[in-house]
């Protein structure tokens, strides 16, 4: 009975969302080897024997984006025996939301990968393994989370306008929202800090900048991210 388990392999894959060019995008890597050589996949890797699964996911996030201290949530563990064509690989998937500016995509020259790139979520190339399913499920979960917690702030710069925040919501949810209701809700929620700064307008009325109120956010962390 124990013998059987020896050939399991356990990986973690991380779905990393961002907003770039007014589009919701996901980070993909191009595979250097078979199986699925030359196909796009979400970044992932083996879980090391003495690291937690969370740590493995964070490590992979950092390897590709140099980003740390991010909202990273365990999504689901995918274990169909046929999901990997060669061997039994169980993967514990995570998802994360990050800002794409001031990020330098990178990868070691370990010959596992030949490219790293952002791809529009709503227009993905053909993906390796069951990664399409994993991304779809991530999006679904992100939408569910968004109804309760303001995780969209991970996608925005420290100072942002309400319109930018609304755009982020609309991109994730895939639908238009009512401007007045949106603003009313956030201004009532006390998680935003109204700044006395405005965008230097490029040919239109300057917009007020807001930031997330770290104190309120931390105090509600258990509530939001439980």
Partner DNA sequence: GCAAAAGTGTTCAATGTACACCCATGC
Partner DNA sequence: GCATGGGTGTACATTGAACACTTTTGC
Q: Which does 214 bind (CB under 5 to 8 A by kind): a copy of itself, DNA, none?
A: none
| Residue appearing with tokens 């969370």 | 54
Stretch touching DNA by CB under 7 A, among 16-24, 55-63, 123-131, 157-165: 157-165
In whole angstroms, give the CA distance from residue 97 to residue 17: 5
- For position 114 contacting a copy of itself by CB under 8 A, the verdict is no
- For position 180 contacting a copy of itself by CB under 8 A, the verdict is no
- For position 181 contacting DNA by CB under 7 A, the verdict is yes
Q: Choose, by CB under 7 A, the member of 207, 211, 213, 224 that binds DNA.
A: 207
Q: Choose, by CB under 7 A, the member of 59, 183, 193, 220 that binds DNA.
A: 183
Q: Kindly give the residue spans of alpha helices, DSSP state H, lying in 96-204.
A: 131-148, 162-173, 179-189
Measured between alpha carbons, how far is residue 27 from residues 74, 124, 160 in Å? 17, 11, 23
Contacts with a copy of itself in 149-168 (CB under 8 A)?
none
- For position 51 contacting a copy of itself by CB under 8 A, the verdict is yes
DSSP 129: T
What are phi and psi for residue 45, nearest 5 degrees?
180, 170
- For position 66 contacting DNA by CB under 7 A, the verdict is no
In whole angstroms, give the CA distance from residue 159 to residue 196: 11
- For position 143 contacting DNA by CB under 7 A, the verdict is no
In whole angstroms, give the CA distance from residue 154 to residue 39: 28
- For position 201 contacting DNA by CB under 7 A, the verdict is yes
Q: Which does 180 bind (CB under 5 to 8 A by kind): DNA, a copy of itself, none?
A: DNA
- For position 90 contacting a copy of itself by CB under 8 A, the verdict is yes
How many residues in the shown chain lie near DNA by CB under 7 A? 19
> On the CB side of 60, how many CA atoms lie within 13 Å of its CA?
31
- For position 10 contacting DNA by CB under 7 A, the verdict is no
C-alpha of 125 from chain center: 18
Measured between alpha carbons, how far is residue 109 from residues 7, 57, 62, 115, 207 in Å? 27, 19, 15, 10, 44
Q: Which does 162 bind (CB under 5 to 8 A by kind): a copy of itself, DNA, none?
A: DNA
Instruction: Using the minimum distance from each CB to a copy of itself, give the nearer residue, 111 or 123.
Output: 111
- The residues of the shown chain that bind a copy of itself, judged by CB under 8 A, are 1-2, 4-10, 46-53, 74, 76-77, 79-81, 88, 90, 92, 140, 226
């Amino acid at each position: 009975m124990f013998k059987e388990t020896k050939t399991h392999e356990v990986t973690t894959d991380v779905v990393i969302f961002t907003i770039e060019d007014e589009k919701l995008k996901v980070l993909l890597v191009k595979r250097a080897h078979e199986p699925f050589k030359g196909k796009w996949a979400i970044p992932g890797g083996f879980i090391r024997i003495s690291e937690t699964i969370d740590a493995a996911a964070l490590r992979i996030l950092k390897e590709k984006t140099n980003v740390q201290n991010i909202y990273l949530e365990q999504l689901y563990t995918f274990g169909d025996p046929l999901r990997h064509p060669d061997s039994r690989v169980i993967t514990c998937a995570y998802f994360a939301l990050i800002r794409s500016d001031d990020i330098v995509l990178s990868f070691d020259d370990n010959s596992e990968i030949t490219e790293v790139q952002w791809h529009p979520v709503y227009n993905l190339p053909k993906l390796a393994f069951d990664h399409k399913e994993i991304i779809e499920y991530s999006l679904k979960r992100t939408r569910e989370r968004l109804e309760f917690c303001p995780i969209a702030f991970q996608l925005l710069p420290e100072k942002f306008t309400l319109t930018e925040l609304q755009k982020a919501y609309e991109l994730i949810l895939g639908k238009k929202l009512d401007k007045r209701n949106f603003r009313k809700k956030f201004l009532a929620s006390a998680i935003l800090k109204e700044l006395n700064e405005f965008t230097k307008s490029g040919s239109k009325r300057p917009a007020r900048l807001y930031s997330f109120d770290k104190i309120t956010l931390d105090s509600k962390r258990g509530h939001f991210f439980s």
